[in-house]
A = this chain, B = another copy of it.
C-alpha cells in the first residue's frame, strides 16, 4: 500500500466534511461568529516521548490528548486537528491501522474532527505532530500573565503519577496500575476548564513538571508564587517514600493537569464546579508581590530542575 492507499483506507473514513474527506490540497472551514480561534501544536518523537512498543491506539490518544491539554490551558473547546505522521515504510500499514482506532475513539470522546495532515516516510523512528484548533468566546482565552496579588493557586488531579507510571512500566504490582494508565492515557481537563472561564486569572497546563510550569506562570505574571508543599496533591502509592512521591510531583513530566490562579472570592464556586466534574482540584498556595517570578515554599525558592529537552 502506498501513502494514497493508506490515507484512503484508514484516514479518510475518520475524516470530516471540513477535511473534504482528504480529497483536496487543504481543508476548508467557515469560522463561527463571536468566537476566537485558538491554535496549538505538539510533537511526539519515538524514543524521546514514547518507546515505540506501546499499542498504536495509545500513542494516538496520547498525541491527541497532549494537544487537547493545551486547548484546556487556553480555555478553548476542541474543534479540529491536523495530523502528520512520519514513519518507516515497514511499520506503516499495521501502525496506521491501529493508530486510527485510537483516534476514532478520542474524536468521539472529545468531539473533535480530523481536518487533514501528511503521511511521509521516515528512515527509522516515528514522529507525530498534531496541530489543534479550538474556539473560545471572544476575549475569553486564558493567558499565563494575568495572575493578581492574593489570587489562590490551584492544581487539578494528582501530580507525579504519570512519571511514577513511566518509571514502573515493567513493574506488575497492581499498585502501579493507575500510575501507568495515567502515563499512557492522560486526561485533558477540557470540560472543567471551559466551565471556569469567568473565574480564572491565569492558567498553564503542567506538561514539563509542576515546578517548571509553575515558574513559567510566576514569571509571566511577574509575581511571587507561594506554594504549601503539604497541600500538593501527590500520589498515595505506599511502595514509594514520601520523598519519591513528592519529587515526582515536583519535577516529573507528563501530568497534563491544569495549574491556575483565581481570586479568593471564587473559591467556593471553583470547589462546586470541580465537584460537579468529579475532579480533585486543590488550592496549593497563593500569589504575592515579592520575589517576582519565583516559586517559593517555606520562604525559600524551590529550585529542582525539571525535565528540559535541550
Chain A residues in the interface with B (C-beta under 8 A) = 1-6, 20, 23-31, 33, 35-45, 47-49, 70-71, 73-74, 76, 80, 82-84, 86, 89, 92, 115-125, 127, 129, 131, 133-134, 136, 138, 141-145, 203-205, 220, 308-310
Contacts and interface: CB of A to CB of B under 8 A. Distances in A.
Given A28-B74, A28-B141, A30-B36, 6 more contacts: A23-B143, A23-B220, A25-B71, A26-B76, A31-B37, A43-B120
A82 B84 CA distance: 13
B25 A82 contact: no
Contacts of A73: 24-26
Contacts of A47: 123
A221 to B, nearest CB: 11
Please state the number of chain copies in the assembly: 2
A74 B116 CA distance: 14
Contacts of A24: 73-74, 141-144, 204
A245 to B, nearest CB: 26
Nearest to A49: B120
Contacts of A138: 30
Contacts of A29: 36-37, 39
Chain B CB within 10 Å — which of A23, A84, A92 has the most?
A84
A145 B134 CA distance: 29
A84 B220 contact: no
B129 A43 contact: yes
B6 A310 contact: yes
Contacts of A204: 24-25
Contact of A39 (B26, B121, B144): B26
Contact of A82 (B23, B41, B83): B41
Contacts of A74: 24-26, 28
Contacts of A30: 36-37, 138
9 contacts: A2-B308, A3-B310, A25-B73, A28-B38, A29-B39, A33-B33, A40-B82, A84-B129, A122-B125
